[in-house]
Amino acid sequence: MSETKSFKMLINSLKFEISDYLVLNELTEYQKEEIDNATIILKDNIVGEVKKLGGNLKKNEEKFKEFVNRAEKELEKDSYKDIRKEFKNYVKNLRELINKSCVAIIPVKEMPWVDVIFRTNPRIIFEKKKAHLLDNAISYHGEIKCVISKPTIYGKMKNAEPLFAPLMGALDLESQKFDESQEGSLSQNFPYINAIMLSLDSVSTRSQLVKYHEGYQRHGEPICDYLMKDSQLMKVMEKVFSGIESKRLNLDMAVCSIAIPQLTNNTTLLLITDESSDSNRFTNSFEALLRFSAACCEAPPSCKRNVVQQSGQMPQAAQSQASATSVLRTPGGQELKVWSQEELAEASQKKTTSIPSGMEAWSQEDLARLAEKRGNGLPEGMEVWKEEELTELASKRQGGLNIPEWKPDKKLNECSKCGYSLRPGWSKCPICETPVSKPDSPPNKEPEQKSTDQDKTD
């Protein structure tokens, strides 16, 4: 196993969660500066107090030591022997990652959201057998009060225009589970948001761009078609740096934004990540989130779900990615059900054969036996009579009379033209008046035989 894979497997097994180290209103200078840059563009629209959280090692030193001890025990496994020497450097980078992590929950007015959340997204990567900290990435996310018809991602591809694409299937959250009974805003469930941001790099998520680009010619999903036609939105989204522009990913495609319908509270969660090192990344990413959110709110009914609020309706995070049926109405008001791509795929998997449920199926042997029974070519169930039965039936139809079968008289000659039987002495046929020719003289074998017999008597 390569060092990179070993390192990723170690991180996944440790399940480090940055939200465990966030402390309210105790920020470093770096964290204060990042939050100031993130909130200054919202200055005139902020209502109430901004809730600020920062990664803090001083108040979480014991918790961090426990994590390091657990990591060292995990490193004793043979699968991690190639990265043991680099572990100290990893711990050093992890301390810096905590110190550079911060979150701001910003209450706003005259915006598509009630709160917009800003956060820094530092991450540790393993490259060239070394652990490196990348601290330039930031994100904005929030929830709008409508439910779009399909989970939607935005990404960039080499040698192709950026695009919005539907997310077909469940979002890859790497088996992370969340409390389904949670109430309130999912945008403030930090482990959930962390899992979503990590899922943007997963193969299954990025492959959706290629599938929609090549398999569907970038067309077909109403919400994606609507967003792609918004030229202002597309221009703003292009300014956002993905993993391709930052050169973090040596790949042909990258996803940097997502919109997920949340059926528990009839909202849609939208998230934008920006990996630029430019100071304009705050303005660019916020403007992208604002226009993306506004476009989803202004989308026509065909791009949204008609969700009825019910108690005990659907679980939270897992069902936020599950597909739900859209509702179309006829001019008379009748509802017509519309199936999503996920529902059609699921139905196709259930119907592994083309035989409807409950219908009898024949094996190859059954068909062979049936073919033998039908060897006479008669339809199944048709009555078949024997020769004796037909003779008896014919006798019954004659009224019981024993009428002899007609046979031709071999003593009578037949007309050579029409075949009429000719009596002896007739010179021509009474039917076609053809002259009757005399019969050929019999062969002279018989006279020779007679003469031979006479000779014998003599």
Rounded to an integer, what distance in angstroms lies between the CA atom of residue 180 and that of residue 186? 11
Task: Look at residue 438 in the predicted model and tell me its pLDDT.
Answer: 65
Residue 139 contacts by C-beta under 8 Å, 6 or more apart in sequence?
118, 119, 121, 197, 271, 272, 273, 274, 285
pLDDT digit string (tens) for 359-389? 667 777 777 777 776 655 666 666 777 788 8
Phi/psi of residue 262, nearest 5 degrees: -115, 105
What are the tens digits of pLDDT across the range 102-159? 999 999 988 899 899 999 999 988 887 788 899 999 999 999 999 999 999 999 998 8
Q: How far apart are CA 234 and CA 222, in angstroms?
A: 16
285-311, pLDDT tens digit by residue? 999 999 999 999 999 999 998 754 333
pTM above 0.85, yes or no: no
- Which runs of E-coded beta strand occur in 41-136? 51-55, 102-107, 113-120, 123-127, 130-134
Q: Are the C-beta atoms of 108 and 123 separated by less than 8 Å?
A: no
What residue spans define the domains of the chain? Answer: 1-135, 141-322
